Amino acid sequence: MSDTNNTLVDAVHAPTVKLETVRTSRPADTPASNPATLEADSVSAWFGDHKVLEQVSLSMPARKVTALIGPSGCGKSTFLRILNRMHELIGSASLSGRVLLDGEDIYDRGRRITHARRQIGMVFQKPNPFPAMSIYDNVTAGLKLGGIRAGRDDKDVLVEECLTKAGLWKEVRDRLRQPGGALSGGQQQRLCIARSLAVRPRVLLMDEPCSALDPTSTRRIEETIHELSEEVTIVIVTHNMQQAARVSDQCAFFLAEQGTPGLIVEHGTTRAMFDNPQDPRTTDYVNGRFG
């Protein structure tokens, strides 16, 4: 997907309703972060008549990093998009099953699509900041897209908080008015993470967030993922087995064999998946024998 398309997708996420005013000095009973457990229950998916996912069930626990691994075309990105209702943006797309955010189905008829999108953020493969917009405004754009109003002082606090959490504050604090597009690729990706954090999501979905980055920037994003995992539940798609081993607490191995829909062959703790896989196909995949 191109940067432009990603930006458009972000824009499509913009709800039309005003939700609430951000409070950066929070009342004592309001948690600074509130990561949620996300649960997929028998999720199947189609593009037109083409079934691409078969009865996928997976629990993605709060405060854990879950890696989705598997060869190209097995439905990892489709599954990720189902987790925050982006799948339904595609005209031919349909699905069955449930996605529970702390027990509540995000697809319930009474639930607004914006409710899910605000609580479940997404970071894309290619960094997609608004290039002409300042670093500061890129972060607060997250608020605007989330339909949240905030005063100037609140915004200042929030921008520092989000850039700090995204591991970028020290590098940009003296140039917040410079355009986001002037940052390096790795810094742009961390800026996008900061933008996603501005609405205080409970889950952050990351679709191959390092695939366009050099090894140093990749390491920095991985550190950021590690630091964020106490604040927000993370689900990451990655083709990089070393990365899955480094950043995740648990893994799910997806596979679509011989034109059949993708399914989860095996899931478990990352250590078990790498050191003692139960299915020979998992053994072959994590050892780089195919895919």
Enumerate binding residues for ligand ATP (CB under 6 A): 47, 52, 70, 72-78, 90
Q: Min. distance of Cβ 35 from ligand ATP in angstroms?
A: 24
Q: Min. distance of Cβ 13 from ligand ATP in angstroms?
A: 17
Q: Min. distance of Cβ 100 from ligand ATP in angstroms?
A: 21
- Helix 215-228 with 185-197: angle, nearest 10 deg: 20
Dist. CA 228–CA 150, nearest whole Å: 23
Nearer to ligand ATP among residue 10 and residue 231 (C-beta): 10
Dist. CA 117–CA 5, nearest whole Å: 17
Nearer to ligand ATP among residue 73 and residue 151 (C-beta): 73
Q: Who's near 252: CB < 8 A, 6+ residues apart?
A: 58, 66, 67, 68, 69, 264, 266, 267
User: CB–CB of 22/76 below 8 Å?
Assistant: no
Nearer to ligand ATP among residue 78 and residue 250 (C-beta): 78
Q: Which residue has the tokens 């005013």?
A: 21
Q: Alpha carbon of 197 to those of 8, 122, 163, 165, 263: distances in Å?
A: 19, 10, 9, 8, 30
Q: Min. distance of Cβ 196 from ligand ATP in angstroms?
A: 20
Nearer to ligand ATP among residue 199 and residue 245 (C-beta): 245
User: CB–CB of 25/191 below 8 Å?
Assistant: no
Q: Min. distance of Cβ 70 from ligand ATP in angstroms?
A: 6
Q: Where are the beta strands (DSSP E) in 84-172?
A: 93-101, 104-105, 120-123
Q: Min. distance of Cβ 44 from ligand ATP in angstroms?
A: 12
Is the torsion defined by CA of 109, 110, 112, 116 positive or negative?
negative
Dist. CA 192–CA 198, nearest whole Å: 10
Q: Min. distance of Cβ 170 from ligand ATP in angstroms?
A: 33
Dist. CA 174–CA 229, nearest whole Å: 27
Q: Min. distance of Cβ 68 from ligand ATP in angstroms?
A: 8
What is the largest distance, in Å, between two alpha-carbon atoms of the chain? 57
User: CB–CB of 142/196 below 8 Å?
Assistant: yes
Nearer to ligand ATP among residue 74 and residue 203 (C-beta): 74
Nearer to ligand ATP among residue 75 and residue 167 (C-beta): 75
Nearer to ligand ATP among residue 45 and residue 65 (C-beta): 45
How many CB atoms neighbour CB 27 within 10 A? 6
Nearer to ligand ATP among residue 36 and residue 68 (C-beta): 68
